[in-house]
Amino acid sequence: MNVGPGFKLTHLQAMLLFALVISIAFGFLSRRKPIERVKYIVWSLFLFFLIGVGIGWAMYPFSR
């Protein structure tokens, strides 16, 4: 996946980048204290990753 000159992303990287950006936005909007924001961002990112990979594996039997 080529995004502009010299910037390549795999499916997993695209999903992780998406999850990171959304987690940061949600963390800053929903929490006030920096430590709470960090906790929220890390937890949200972890759940994005877990659910994304989970859904990926759930779809695996239908991919062939």
Partner 1 sequence: MAGETSAPAVPQQDSRRERIAFAIGVAGWLVPGLGHALMKMWGRAVACFLTVGVLVILGAGMRGNVFNSSGNDAFDSLGYLADLGTGTFYVLARALERDGSDVSRAEGDYGTRFLATAGVLNLLAALHAYEVARGRKA
Q: Which residues bind partner 1 (CB under 8 A)?
A: 1-4, 7, 9, 11, 14, 17-18, 21-22, 24-25, 27-29, 32
Question: What residues pair up with 2 in beta bridges, in sequence order?
Answer: 8
- Min dist CB 52 to partner 1, Å, is 13
Q: What angle do CA 51, 7, 17 make, to 5 degrees?
A: 20
Integer Cα distance of 12 and 19 in angstroms: 10
- Min dist CB 3 to partner 1, Å, is 4
CB closer to partner 1, 8 vs 64: 8
